[in-house]
Amino acid sequence: MATVEAGGTVLNSFPVHRRLDQDGPGLPWAVYLADADQRFRLLVFDLDAKLDPSPAHRDADVVSGLLDDVGVGHVVCRSGPSGGRHVWVALRASVDAATVATLARLVRHLCPSLDIAPLSNPVTGCVRPPGAPHRDGGTSQVLRGDLGTLTAPSTTPEQVRALVGRLAKLVDDTEPAHDPTARTPLPVDRHGHLYLPGGRRPLPAVSAAALQADAAVGDASAVAWTVLIGAASARWRHDDVAALVPTSPGLEHVRTLRQGSTRAPRPARGPASAAMVLRRQWHKAVQHVATTARQVGADPTFDARADAIAAAVRAVQERADATAGRWGTRTGPTDRRVLDVLCTLALQAISADVEADTRRVALLAGIGRETARTGLLRLAGEGWIALTQAASGPHGARWTITPPPADPAVAVLADGVPEAAIPSGAVHKGVTTNRSQADPRPAGAGPAERLALLAQLTARTTDAAHDVFTARAGLGHQAGNTWARVSHSVSSLDLARTIGHPVDELRVVLGRLAEVGLLQRTGDTWSRPGQDHRDASAVARGVAGVLLERERRYRIERAAWAWWQAEHAWMLAPRRAHPTRRAGTGQLDLLAEPGTTTLGAHPRRPDGRADFRAARAIVAASTTDHSPTSEPQQAARDAGGRRAA
């Protein structure tokens, strides 16, 4: 039962326990979802309504449709006066907490309004049932479904695992909540439409099936999105898809729009026209495929490895979120970005141990290479990560996100096994995976959780790594981290708990974001406006192109270093060409011998020492003009001709 203050205010806290008879108490009350063995007997999808209840309503329809697909009886309730939704399921036999937690995370990936706390905590997770009062007035009212499905449940654990398996297949094809942005420019066709280079291939099986699906009777937008990302990944062009719009059932969303329970043709002109809808969705799909690591193949070990790395990254992220104050310090915002980037790389590599040079980390995090280097050292010093191999030659340093504990004698897993007994760097370290034969892991759950985490971290780092959030003339790194966390309506207090800043200081940052049109405020709740103004804000502050120029500079530094490494390999080769017979810059198209690159011999000063300044000038010229007869390259060849034995 809820707590009531002396003044009569009902709090959102339920510390009082009481057994119920036929009539519930007059105060708000909730029921536990799991039994004393921490196995779930009830499932509740708590869909919050903040400023706008429509996302919760839409997500309730999605959850209800998914439950119908696997034959699970359920009840949909209006939770209270704010318009939120509760979708209830009762289980005939209990389900283990790990499967339910996976279910909650995958559903939230599809339905951002879901609060996963009740389904993630088998000890204290509870929700107000149908008919229970709300502290702001009213009660939880049944909108759809029969209460008999809750009092006489028929849903089995097998159906729950089937639901997880179905969700796993949907995760990779989920439309992102906002437009992703590729870190490198993408080519455009003669009409200005983005595309991915490469030969056209047949559509993937899932997208081909979606193209022929009757989208008019379901979620037409989701079906069209499945078609578009498949076409983009198969290297189709915009015109290839446009030719299919008039006749393909799966592209119903492009042709028509929903009007109540029916669909009507789209207008011939304007932003809602079929041409404009296809253009926007196609560009979004191309950017999504360009920025998302899509796994293909049939590796029988992939499921277990993906599950293990997802568990490891989730443990790191939960620990970081639980110590939010660490990221509220002067260097905290950039350190958190560095940690998120390493977690992203670990998910992409399906390994807790990854090679990550400082320039790569810096570009992904939207910070400078020196800031990235010191951030890595600080995180390693505090035990968040560990250096497993120092940088050597052309290889960057290797870091692990699962460092060994400082005191192995006291580090013990939940099942009592000493952590020191687990090999260092094992991605499953610190994660309990004991399961009985009655609770098998749903097929595909591991890869789906990995993709969901990868999408979440990629979106967060991409949102924060923008010109407008750079230091000095920009709004700063903390502003970028804050904006990236406001993916949906959120209060100042909730943001402060997540980011680690005092509420008063955070409100100053939020106010600056609102002043330039990047956030909007309603009361003490913040959300993003309908249009992204980051590019315009960067232009107004004179920082547009800062990150692109930094990327070009780092690319030149990398190429110059690789050139010297090749020269060093030539110097150590037992049978090398005579210095006077080595090709100059721009004279090679193939690698003729070990240590030789297309740039040819490394430039030297008259005294025979390496001329690194000339080498950098040559590399810089080659990144801006690839013509074999350009004047900058001709001058570079002359500089490269000065070499000694």
- Statement to judge: residues 270 and 162 lie in one domain: no
CATH value at residue 97: 3.90.920.10
In a domain, 418, yes or no: no
- pLDDT category at 373 given cuts 50, 70, 90 is very high
The number of distinct structural domains making up the chain is: 5
Q: What is the CA radius of gyration of the chain?
A: 28
- Statement to judge: residues 283 and 302 lie in one domain: no
- Statement to judge: residues 275 and 303 lie in one domain: no
How far apart are alpha carbons 312 and 320 in whole angstroms? 13
- Statement to judge: residues 42 and 61 lie in one domain: yes
Residue 377: predicted pLDDT: 95
- Statement to judge: residues 91 and 218 lie in one domain: no
How far apart are alpha carbons 454 and 263 in whole angstroms? 35
- Statement to judge: residues 47 and 92 lie in one domain: yes
Residue 429 has pLDDT above 60, yes or no: no
Which of 480, 514, 540 is the last residue before a domain boundary?
A: 540
- Statement to judge: residues 606 and 510 lie in one domain: no
Residue 630 has pLDDT above 70, yes or no: no
- Statement to judge: residues 524 and 630 lie in one domain: no
- Statement to judge: residues 306 and 286 lie in one domain: no
What sign has the CA pseudo-torsion 205, 203, 184, 529?
negative
Residue 142: predicted pLDDT: 93
- Statement to judge: residues 531 and 593 lie in one domain: no
> What does the DSSP assignment read for 102-128?
HHHHHHHHH-TTEE-HHHH-TTT-EEP
CATH value at residue 401: 1.10.10.10
In a domain, 617, yes or no: yes
In a domain, 182, yes or no: no
In a domain, 490, yes or no: yes
Interval 250-280: pLDDT, tens: 898 999 987 766 788 999 888 889 999 999 9
How confident is the model over 476-505, as a mean pLDDT? 87
Which of 242, 267, 291 is the last residue before a domain boundary?
A: 291
Interval 86-138: pLDDT, tens: 999 999 999 999 999 999 999 988 888 899 999 999 998 999 999 888 888 88
In a domain, 446, yes or no: no
In a domain, 383, yes or no: yes
How far apart are alpha carbons 325 and 188 in whole angstroms? 45
- pLDDT category at 297 given cuts 50, 70, 90 is very low
Q: Which residue has the higher pLDDT, 314 or 423?
A: 314
Map tokens 């996302």 to a residue: 55
- Statement to judge: residues 37 and 162 lie in one domain: yes
- Statement to judge: residues 150 and 240 lie in one domain: no
Provide the residue range defining the domain that includes 41.
Answer: 31-166
Interval 433-484: pLDDT, tens: 444 444 777 878 888 898 889 888 988 999 999 999 998 888 999 999 999 9
Name the nearest CA neighbour of 355 among 385, 315, 400, 310. Answer: 400
Q: Which residue has the higher pLDDT, 404 or 596?
A: 404
Which of 410, 433, 454 is the last residue before a domain boundary?
A: 410
Interval 49-62: pLDDT, tens: 766 677 888 888 88
In a domain, 39, yes or no: yes
Give the CA angle between residues 502, 506, 511 to the nearest 5°: 155
Residue 217 has pLDDT above 60, yes or no: no
* Residue 228, SS3 per DSSP: helix
In a domain, 342, yes or no: yes
Mean pLDDT for all residues in the chain: 81
Name the nearest CA neighbour of 505 among 497, 514, 496, 513. Answer: 496
For the whole model, what pTM was predicted? 0.70
